[in-house]
Structure 1
Amino acid sequence: MAEATTLRSLLSRQGCLTLPGVFDGISARVATSIGFDALYMTGYGVVASALGVADAGTATFTEMLDRVRVIAGACNKPFIADGDTGYGGLLNVDRTVRGYASAGASGIQLEDQEFPKKCGHTEFRRVIPLEDAVAKIRVAVDARPDRNFLIVARTDARYAEGMDAALRRAERFLQAGADVLFIESPESLEELRRVAETFKGAILLANMVEGGRTPYLSTSELASMGFKIGLYPASGFLTAAGALRLVYRHLKTTGSATGSEAPMLPFTDMNTLMGFPAVHAFEKRYGLADSHKK
């Protein structure tokens, strides 16, 4: 479960909050152990790790909700969870927001793409009519349990209709009650600055994807522009996939995983990360450890 510190209180501090993308129990535990103040459940990472397919609208609400529960159970940090398009119409958005909040998320990201949606740094994205998108944000705001559950309103209109349209949509989302504005994939530093200058005083999120469409900046650079959240959703799963490729290739070639260029966590450290000390303490407390010796 998330700790008492809320995302809203974290965002009231100076600077830009760094949110790493997590996608399963291991990544959530590692990010928590490193000391991040908050996390982000990446839809791309969840779909890739849980289903082994592209982030192209194939995941269902129940599949994503299950992963929200996993991450909430594996960490004690507040986190924003990717809610895609809300998995349907307005009733679905209502159910999605209530479900994510009940499962332990501290906020939800909702986007205005047509279904089936796609990763925000890929091709052929289209957006729904503006009034329909605004209605989804209004429903989300009404469905949340309290104001500490943040509604992150994302628009993909920069790709589909241009920056002017994206800014108009973001303004309407803000008027509808969104807490955080997320204009996906600006394609230059000038466009990032335009977003920040247009919405001075608002909580702005910038999505930093290695190899993506947006110039890749640090959180200190984003803070100097006026952004409050720097999202790094792909860093974890890109690194994990790269390390797996190295170690599996080495194992296939040599018949052994030792000596691979991929960094490998010692088994004892992995046991600690996953909570085995608590398991052993439990067994000792209830006499289970002694029974193993008989």
Structure 2
Amino acid sequence: MSTHPGTLLRTFLNERRGLLVPGAGNALAARVIETMGFEAVYLSGAGLTNNFYGMPDLGFVSLNDIASHTAAIRDAVALPLIVDADTGFGNALNVRHTVRTLERAGANAIQIEDQVMPKKCGHFAGKAVINQAEMVSKIKAAVDARVSGDFLIIARTDARAIHGLDAALDRARAFAEAGADVTFVEAPTSVDELRRIASDLPCPQIVNVVIGGKTPALPAAEFAEMGFGMVLYANAALQGAVRGMTNALAELQRRGELPEDPDLVATFAERQALVQKTAFDALDARYAVQAAKG
């Protein structure tokens, strides 16, 4: 098997074994995900918006924001990298530019969705979608723009919340016919709907488990049994980090000090290991300029 991350990702998804993929909002989170032994990482648009701007997922990030974080994550980890590219930032020509930009930045797959721009989190109310023909044209542009055949195009539809499941399935089929490698019906609300998505559509499918969201949070093994290609926890790391920060800072506030308690904070040594301080020390020593002798 090729070790190219895009080829690996295609293989993993085609196995339809419910590949468990956490999301990252920055390179440090991606490093944690890789260290924990996961097989791929997802750059979450919601996670990036929350982390970078402290704002909700309402279409505030730009292509430049996503490209810079894609490049940082690519430099930090070797895992297959899936990037949430929201709506592709405009029409088919904008999608073409988005694909070329993010492929150069190091993505192995991008996800584009059929929401009206500016988009909203898939589990928020008040979403709207563009017409199917327009989204099909965007997918065709994405397919034509990629350089590598193993740069995957993931096409998401948010039509379930607006037009119902049958309409969402029809869109997903059309997206696959237009060349999408993977389709993603966002925010199904029952186990029966999940089973239909996994069984009725021709290409690998993604299920997005949002903690506190609309989709049933089943064990990954059940999603694998249904035949999903990927089980996405786009913001589990972010929500865990927020809870960790509040717990540690509440203890600091209560006590006026914070001991090195591994139940509250990572140790100094763990933090330095995560950012590969030893490797940078070795590089520093390698390139150090020797002081001239008088």
One fold, TM greater than 0.5? yes
2:181 aligns to what?
179
Residues 81-137 of structure 1 deviation map (CA, whole Å, 9 limit, x = unaligned):
000000111111111011110000000000000011001011111101111111111
8 Å CA contact 1:120–1:156 kept in 2: the answer is: yes
1:277 aligns to what?
278
In 2, Cα distance between equivalents of 1:11 and 1:181: 11
In 1, Cα distance between equivalents of 2:70 and 2:190: 33
In 1, Cα distance between equivalents of 2:22 and 2:207: 12
- Give the 3 Å change call, closer, same or farther, for CA 120–280 of structure 1 in structure 2: same
8 Å CA contact 1:243–1:262 kept in 2: the answer is: no
Q: Deviation at 1:14?
A: 6.0
| 1:1-294 alignment, distance < 5 Å | 4-5=4-5, 6=7, 7-13=9-15, 15-199=17-201, 201-258=202-259, 263-287=264-288
Equivalent residue letter for 1:115: M
Equivalent residue letter for 2:273: T
* Stretch deviating more after TM superposition (59-68 or 77-86): 59-68
Residues 17-73 of structure 1 deviation map (CA, whole Å, 9 limit, x = unaligned):
111111111101111111111111111100110111011011111111111111111
Q: Deviation at 1:262?
A: 5.4
In 2, Cα distance between equivalents of 1:41 and 1:193: 26
In 1, Cα distance between equivalents of 2:241 and 2:4: 30
8 Å CA contact 1:247–1:261 kept in 2: the answer is: no
8 Å CA contact 2:184–2:205 kept in 1: the answer is: yes
In 1, Cα distance between equivalents of 2:185 and 2:232: 12
Equivalent residue letter for 1:33: T
In 2, Cα distance between equivalents of 1:104 and 1:203: 22
In 2, Cα distance between equivalents of 1:240 and 1:96: 29
Q: Deviation at 1:283?
A: 2.0
Residues 120-179 of structure 1 deviation map (CA, whole Å, 9 limit, x = unaligned):
011111101111111111111111112200000000000011111101100100100000
SS at match of 2:129: coil
SS at match of 1:140: helix
In 1, Cα distance between equivalents of 2:287 and 2:159: 58
Equivalent residue letter for 2:242: A
In 2, Cα distance between equivalents of 1:235 and 1:62: 24
Q: Deviation at 1:13?
A: 3.7
In 2, Cα distance between equivalents of 1:123 and 1:280: 49
- Give the 3 Å change call, closer, same or farther, for CA 150–266 of structure 1 in structure 2: same
8 Å CA contact 1:250–1:260 kept in 2: the answer is: no
SS at match of 1:58: coil
Equivalent residue letter for 2:245: L
8 Å CA contact 2:16–2:204 kept in 1: the answer is: no
Q: Deviation at 1:208?
A: 0.8
Q: Which runs of 5+ in 1 are unaligned?
A: none
Equivalent residue letter for 2:137: A
TM-score (norm 2): 0.93
